[in-house]
Structure 1
Amino acid sequence: MPNERPTGPSADRLHDLPHDLTERFTKTFDADPTARLLQNAVTVTPVDEVALDRRVVTSIDHSMSHLLDDWAVTSQEKSGRCWLFAGTNLLRVGAAKKLGVKDFEFSQNHLLFWDKLEKANHWLESIIATADRDVDDRTVAHLLSTPAEDGGQWNMFVALVVKHGLVPKTAMPETKSSSNTRAMNRDIATILRQAARDLRASAANGAADDELQSAKEQVLASIHRLLCIHLGTPPQSFVWQWKDKDNGFHRSGEMTPREFADAYVTVPLTDYVCLVNDPRPTSPFGRTYTVEHLGNVVGAPPVAYLNVQTDLMKKLAAAAIVGGEAVWFGCDTDQMSNSELGLWDAALFDRAAVYATTPDLAKADRLTHHESMMTHAMLFTGVDLQGDLPRRWRVENSWGAEKGDKGFMTMNDNWFGEHVFEIAVRRDALPADLQAVLADEPVVLPAWDPMGALA
């Protein structure tokens, strides 16, 4: 029966919630005038508006000592494509300069199409590889819970560009489903989970690898059809012509996506490496890590991280900006941020004053106890330096121009240390000893590790 008391070795150690205890809680609350005042406020006002620390807000402005951006922000709309937008936003600056235009966008929809198809193949390969495990195995359960996610990592972005190239937004514009991926993802997930059932059953019945691969190809054909219906068919080639900012006309003629990427990507994508700050004692600094079953393009270099102290991440990010290059990064944007004001500070909300309970989970504790993980990718486009030390950071988001400073956000440096987890920088910017570490075989973290959460 649903209300039966649990039995077993630990049953005698369970304690219920007694009425006299809750009555004491209520009396204590009612006797506290501050608690009653806060109740009056929070029952009619969002708690983060009540907790917003005005002293912090008024201490921040959007000025920077080093600022790169003079372009308009983009919008991922109702999708989880932040990592694709952050990547194409990094690349579009050089493309715009080469084209002689004020603003330019690569097609994020083009990359979304290929990411979804490549991820489906990658996921199905993982299902086949784990077919001998019980369906309740933690890795299998994790795979089945995340068959059609929008997210991704820097290495996954690079893998897409290297294999499938890029096209201008005019060659494959947004669709209803690229801007709102929920229904499309739902239907992809259904197809993939059904395929998992069938592939696992076939494997259990002794199917050979070529039979499993043939069945997988049929599933991929269904996914391809679905993606074409939702997103349009990616162009194999297109005629590229444009007008520059002085109204001059140019025509490059017919180009493939790979040719377009070769012509207009002005940074060495494959020379970038990912640095993370993971202070958990189980992840020593100065080591490389990867996450099991994380990726999109099978055969591409694995998603790999070099774990370093946050001060080095700040130093390298600031140096890149001063040198004229924006920096792709991943963070937990759900923590201590106000998107309307475009402000991030580690003490932006005084929740301790509201709840009379002081949050004291450190960064490592937040990762270990599921309080935090990477949730969003963006670009650093500015830094405010006092001497060599950063005071605050300028962030290009992909949530449209209505939030923050025309879509750009301001991050105090204390937020970087607490809630930024990852940056992508050029390999040769690293100290020599860390460059050497990159050649080491990475430690494999389990599929559910928070270091893989952005994907």
Structure 2
Amino acid sequence: MTKEITNEAIANFAADLDKHPGINIASRAAQQNGIYKASQNLQSKIDLEPTFSIEIDTGKPADQKQSGRCWMFSALNTMRHPLQKEYKVKDFELSQNYTNFWDKFEKSNWFFENVIATADKPLGDRKVSFLFATPQQDGGQWDMLCGLIEKYGIVPKAVYPETANATSSSALNDTLNTLLRKDGLALRAMINSGKTENEVTARKNEFLNDVFRVLVISLGMPPKKFDFEYKDDDGNYHREADLTPKEFFDKYVGMNLEDHVSIINSPTTDKPYHKVFSVEYLGNIVGGRQVRHMNLEISEMKDLIIQQLKGGEVVWFGSNVGKDSERQLGLLDTKIYQRDELFDIDMSMSKGDKLDSGESMMDHAMVITGVDLVEGKPTKWKIENSWGEKPGFKGYFVMSDTWFDAFVYQAVINRKFLSDTLKTEFDEGAKDPIQLLPWDPMGALAK
């Protein structure tokens, strides 16, 4: 039975206001300044002063601008940092637009193949609706970037620079998604009318040809070979001609991508710790690398990250950056906004409840470059973001350890820092990972 809100109930709610001291002060502050400014706690700025006991110098941060490519920027940052140091090229960047081009092309084929595989299901089926809701987008995860590099290599940013449609991607995404939805419906119609597999494949390739043309016009034609020229920080000139993108990656980046493992922290009842998971429909390359996550307790995740930082390697990680963050100050802290006090309401939720209810999930990837340890325990973390130099501390953010507990969900760790037990658990679990539904929060894409 439904229950409407009565006038008596409203009168009781109004009378209850008198029970909350300071409500008039809180009202004036919130109405004049907005909820976040009215509840902002300046103590966070004092506590998160950017000094760290362990810190890796990574130079000038990159800027993804008006695009959702943080996962690419952050992953490529972890790869460019060693290159900058070894070859003495300050602020050198790898081409984010190059991986962007191939990601959008591969995601289009991924969409078509999944549309073909689900053509026997009605359009109202939840999985079909999920596919057509967003045929492709800017967001992604670590394994998806690795798959692109394994197939296509990488190039310097100077060789394949940003374009207007890379830095402000909404028009390109809208164009591609309109095209893909139209073509996806056509493929479904062909299959359901009894067309042969060869006929469907031929039509799909015609559609991919259109996608390729849209991408070349919007982003440029990716190079097959190029000359790598640069002057190092000592002024010395270097040049190597006729490199392929894969040759460049192998020689100048040289990271063994297979040695890097995705770990997550999802304290929900459906995800036992030390098990490996994958997510249905999560990926970008048909026949490419599968996204796999091993779920660990938050203390285990932190210990591995600290080991990696001590070993001189930065850490790619995914989090919910929109929660309890002050972008201009560059602060990530669960105490930065005291909304509970402002409204005299208990708003606390466990991390598991936040995930299960949709209150929180990963939405942004960054790089951990430092940590402040006090008596061996982390108190704050140094974060390289990809929003340029204006916000925070010249583009770097400071994350409190309590924010880490609440809103960090994924990190990528070099296998050499895993214990033998963790290596075995991951390898065994990765052979047949537990499959999660497409809309599981661990399938959220970082943007």
Amino acid of the structure 1 residue aligned with 2:101 = F
Q: Please give the TM-score of this superposition, normalised by the length of structure 1.
A: 0.95
- Pair 1:422-2:413 in alignment: no
Secondary structure of 1:43's partner?
helix
Aligned residue in 1 for 2:56 = 68
Structure 1 position 300, deviation (Å): 1.4
Write the distance in 1 (CA, Å) between the matches of 2:198 and 2:18.
70
SS state of the match for residue 21, structure 1?
A: helix
Where structure 2 has 5 or more consecutive residues not aligned to the other structure, the ranges are none
Counterparts of 1:240-319 in structure 2, within 5 Å, are 240-319=228-307
Q: Is the 8 A contact 2:98 2:154 kept in 1?
A: yes
Partner of 1:449: 440
The Cα offsets for residues 324-356 of structure 1, whole Å up to 9 and x where unpaired, read as 100000011111111111111122211101222
Cα distance, 1:31–1:422 mapped onto 2, change above 3 Å? closer
How many Å apart are 1:394 and its aligned residue? 0.4
Match of 1:409 among 397, 412, 415: 397
Tell me if the contact between 1:380 and 1:396 (Cα under 8 Å) persists in the aligned partners.
yes
Query: Which residues in structure 2 correspond to 1:54-453 (within 5 Å)?
Result: 54-438=42-426, 439-440=428-429, 441-453=432-444
CA distance in 1, matches of 2:351, 2:133: 26
Cα separation, 2, equivalents of 1:18 and 1:30: 20
The CA distance in 1 between the partners of 2:239 and 2:275, in whole Å, is 48
Over residues 69-90 of structure 1, what are the superposed CA-to-partner deviations in whole Å (9 max), with x where a residue is unaligned? 2400110001100000001100
SS in 2 for 1:143: helix
User: Could you tell me whether the CA contact under 8 Å between 2:48 and 2:399 is conserved in 1?
Assistant: no
Is the contact made by 1:330 and 1:454 (CA closer than 8 Å) also made in structure 2? no
- Answer yes or no: is the 8 Å Cα contact 1:94–1:264 preserved in 2: no
Check the 8 A contact 1:94/1:266 in 2, yes or no. no
CA drift of 1:219 comes to 1.3
Q: Are 1:96 and 1:104, in contact at CA under 8 Å, matched by a contact in 2? A: yes
CA contact (8 A) 1:381 1:394 kept: yes
Q: Is the 8 A contact 2:67 2:168 kept in 1?
A: yes
Q: What displacement does 1:301 show?
A: 2.2
Per-residue displacement from partner, 1:74-131 (whole Å, max 9, x unpaired)? 1000110000000110011111123221220001001100000011111111111111
* Number of residue pairs matched by the alignment: 443
Superposition deviation, residue 32 in structure 1: 5.5
The root-mean-square deviation of aligned C-alpha atoms, in Å, is 1.4
Q: Which runs of 5+ in 1 are unaligned?
A: 1-12
Which amino acid in structure 2 is aligned with residue 311 of structure 1?
A: S
Consecutive aligned runs of 4 or more in structure 1 exceeding 4 Å deviation: 30-33
How far apart, in 1, do the equivalents of 2:79 and 2:403 lie? 26
Cα shift at 1:388 = 2.7
Structure 2 distance, partners of 1:379, 1:141, is 34
Note the C-alpha offset of 1:416. 0.9
Matches of 2:244 and 2:359, distance apart in 1? 44
Structure 1 residues 454 and 252: CA distance shift in structure 2, 3 A: same
Give distance in 1, aligned partners of 2:42 and 2:89.
41
Q: CA deviation at 1:208?
A: 2.1
Equivalent AA in structure 1 for residue 345 of structure 2? T
The Cα shift of 1:27 comes to: 4.3
* 8 Å contact from structure 1 (residues 166, 258) kept in 2: yes
Q: Separation in 2 of the partners of 1:431 and 1:79?
A: 37
**Is 1:29–1:36's contact at 8 Å kept on the other side of the alignment?**
no
Instruction: Give 1:387 deviation, angstroms.
Output: 3.5
